[in-house]
């Protein structure tokens, strides 16, 4: 074949495209288990961080198994039977009406105390924000929190993932004195009292996003948690609700609650 001809060039290019695409597909497929494991480990780390336990990725599975005693999905104050909370795409759930949401919940036992760990998902100035927050047995007092973001402005909204910001939430309350849900507000100019924290200077939109995220996400858990709070002498029965799992043929990035596309471009 004439290597200088146009037909040779076209055939050679087509063969190279097919070979490169096949290699990329093989690499992506072979790396998927490793990627999924990294996602799980990061999720375990963040869940544990909300109860003030810092571990490495290598230590995260053992610590998670030791400290997390229950993994639940809650809908309308009821336990949804047969669903794994790590498979819930929170980015999709938070867009639904409150009564239709499936809410992941992790129950931890540490130093003889019970904590409820709740994943969060919302929107900042430039993209999604997310995190985890833990509540004490009274279903109101915040024990720990951590937040992260995809593309907030460094030095401004991106400060939500610093301890200086999220440590403010410790010992704040999501219920008022009468036991009604109030959440916690990130207030520009300085927060005060049991339901406010200081906002981020220059990061008003992201601060408002954290406020909205907390109010929107926590609302789905209040009825279930209040029924099991330490203000009751005994646990109240909750009927289990069986529904179909909506997750099909998708991988879920639990750390950021985003769907991982399986297609290779």
Tens-place pLDDT, residues 210-264: 999 999 999 999 999 888 876 544 444 444 444 444 434 444 444 444 444 444 3
* Whether pLDDT at 74 is above 60: yes
The pLDDT assigned to 244 comes to 45
Helix (H, G, I), strand (E, B) or coil at 141: strand
Percentage of the chain beyond pLDDT 90 is: 61
Residues in the chain: 265
The pLDDT assigned to 263 comes to 41
CA 204 and chain centroid, separation: 22
The pLDDT assigned to 16 comes to 84
DSSP character for 222? H
Dist. CA 9–CA 2, nearest whole Å? 10
The pLDDT assigned to 28 comes to 63
In a domain, 162, yes or no: yes
Of 1-5, 86-90, 94-98, 176-180, minimum mean pLDDT range: 1-5
More confident residue, 41 or 122: 122
Dist. CA 220–CA 253, nearest whole Å? 21
In a domain, 57, yes or no: no
Burial class (CB in 10 A: 0-12, 13-18, 19+), 104: buried
The pLDDT assigned to 37 comes to 65
* Whether pLDDT at 48 is above 50: yes
In a domain, 107, yes or no: yes
Q: Which residue has the tokens 């063969």?
A: 15
Contact partners, residue 80, CB within 8 Å, separation at least 6: 72, 73, 74, 102, 240, 241, 242, 243
The pLDDT assigned to 31 comes to 59
In a domain, 81, yes or no: yes
How many separate domains does the chain show? 1
In a domain, 104, yes or no: yes
Tens-place pLDDT, residues 182-196: 999 999 888 889 999
The parent domain of residue 219 ranges over 70-258
Phi, psi of 56 (to 5 degrees): -75, 170
- Alpha helices of the chain — where are they, by DSSP H? 6-49, 57-67, 90-93, 163-166, 204-218, 222-227
Dist. CA 44–CA 9, nearest whole Å? 51
Q: What is the mean pLDDT of residues 138-167?
A: 93
- pTM for the whole thing? 0.75
In a domain, 34, yes or no: no
Q: Which residue has the tokens 């927050």?
A: 133
Tell me the two tokens of residue 127: 């993209």
The pLDDT assigned to 226 comes to 87
In a domain, 43, yes or no: no
The pLDDT assigned to 165 comes to 95
The pLDDT assigned to 19 comes to 80
The pLDDT assigned to 36 comes to 66
* Whether pLDDT at 103 is above 50: yes
In a domain, 210, yes or no: yes
* Whether pLDDT at 10 is above 80: no
Give the pLDDT band (50/70/90) at residue 26. confident
Dist. CA 261–CA 251, nearest whole Å? 7
Contact 48, 63 (CB under 8 A): yes
């Amino acid at each position: 074949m004439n290597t200088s001809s146009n037909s040779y060039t076209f055939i050679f290019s087509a063969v190279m495209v097919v070979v490169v695409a096949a290699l990329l597909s093989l690499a992506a497929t072979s790396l998927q288990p490793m990627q999924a494991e990294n996602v799980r480990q990061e999720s375990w780390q963040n869940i544990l961080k909300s109860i003030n336990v810092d571990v490495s990725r290598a230590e995260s599975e053992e610590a998670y198994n030791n400290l997390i005693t229950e993994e639940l999905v809650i809908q309308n104050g009821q336990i949804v039977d047969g669903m794994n909370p790590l498979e819930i795409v929170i980015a999709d759930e938070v867009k639904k009406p409150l009564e239709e949401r499936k809410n992941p919940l992790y129950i931890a036992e540490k130093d003889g105390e019970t904590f409820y760990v709740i994943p969060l998902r919302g929107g900042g100035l430039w993209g999604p924000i997310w995190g985890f927050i833990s509540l004490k047995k009274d279903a109101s007092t915040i024990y720990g929190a951590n937040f992260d973001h995809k593309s907030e402005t460094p030095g401004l909204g991106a400060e939500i993932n610093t301890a200086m910001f999220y440590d403010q939430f410790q010992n704040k309350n999501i219920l008022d004195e009468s036991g009604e849900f109030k959440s916690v507000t990130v207030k520009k100019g300085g927060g005060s009292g049991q339901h406010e924290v200081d906002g981020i200077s220059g990061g008003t939109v992201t601060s408002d996003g954290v406020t909205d995220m907390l109010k929107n996400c926590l609302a789905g858990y209040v009825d279930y948690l209040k029924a099991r709070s330490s203000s009751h002498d005994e646990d109240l029965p909750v009927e289990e609700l069986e529904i179909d799992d909506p997750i099909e043929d998708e991988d879920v990035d639990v750390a950021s609650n985003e769907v991982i596309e399986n297609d290779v471009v």
